[in-house]
Amino acid sequence: MATQRPALDVISHSPEQTRSLGARLGRLARAGDVFLLTGQIGSGKTTFAQGLARGLGVASYVQSPTFTLVSEHSGHTADGRPVTLYHLDLYRLESADDLVTFGYADYFADPAAITVVEWPERLGADLPDEYLLISFDHLADSKRRLALYPRGKRPEALIDAFRTEVFGARRGSAASGN
Ligand SMILES: Nc1ncnc2c1ncn2[C@@H]1O[C@H](COP(=O)(O)OP(=O)(O)OP(=O)(O)O)[C@@H](O)[C@H]1O
Ligand SMILES: [Mg+2]
């Protein structure tokens, strides 16, 4: 799903570091934001989603909704506003018909919710207008690369804020050597 140069990339050296990155992004998120997490099996998508949930103050542990396609959690954004977190895992989605039956569009359309999607490739061309795509690469046993690609103005702003949060006010990303 990601071909061009990422706006930001970060190396994680442990599951906890990946969760912590997710939590930082979660604290910057607001209702309406959509995160698409792409990457092979075991690359860290669910681990990151757990962090996002933590950053949104979700009390319950987020497991991959493998058999349910979607799980729903109550949290709040950093300013204290209540928000719903939808966690979709489309791995088992087989056809375009499944997609329609499942009613995926309702999740993206919910203005009071933040949506995180694993295996967004299954959506085909049915992507939301704006989203932040994060591509996960398995580099070594406990080493993962996260590459962030914005689609739209809000995701661009979110990446800028995340970059500052992770690397400080400097330009570029230390992890990518800029
Ligand atoms: N730096 C790291 N970041 C994330 N996970 C890591 C890291 N190092 C090791 N791991 C391990 O890799 C696995 C990642 O699993 P996770 O369920 O997050 O992957 P996934 O991308 O959601 O896979 P799936 O496509 O099957 O849903 C976990 O067992 C985790 O402990
Ligand atoms: Mg997963």
pLDDT digits (tens, 9 = 90+) for 96-124: 777 777 788 888 889 999 999 999 998 88
Indicate the number of domains in the chain: 1
Structural domain range at position 102: 8-170
Answer yes or no: pTM beyond 0.95.
no
- Which CATH number characterizes residue 88's domain? 3.40.50.300
Task: Give the contacts of 62 (CB within 8 A, at least 6 positions apart).
Answer: 46, 49, 50, 52, 53, 71, 73, 85, 87
Considering every ligand atom shown, identify the ligand nearest to the alpha carbon of residue 119 and give its number. 1
Atom of ligand 1 nearest to the CA of 89: 27
Residue 177 lies in a domain: no
Mean pLDDT per 10-residue section of the chain, whose length is 178 residues: 87 98 98 97 96 94 69 95 94 78 83 94 88 98 98 98 90 47
Q: In sequence order, what E strands does the chain have? A: 8-12, 34-39, 70-76, 82-89, 113-118, 131-140, 143-151
Residue 3 lies in a domain: no
Residue 93 lies in a domain: yes
**Using CA positions, which residue lies closest to atom 17 of ligand 1?**
46
Read off the pLDDT of residues 137-157 as tens digits, 9 standing for 90 and up. 999 999 999 999 999 999 999
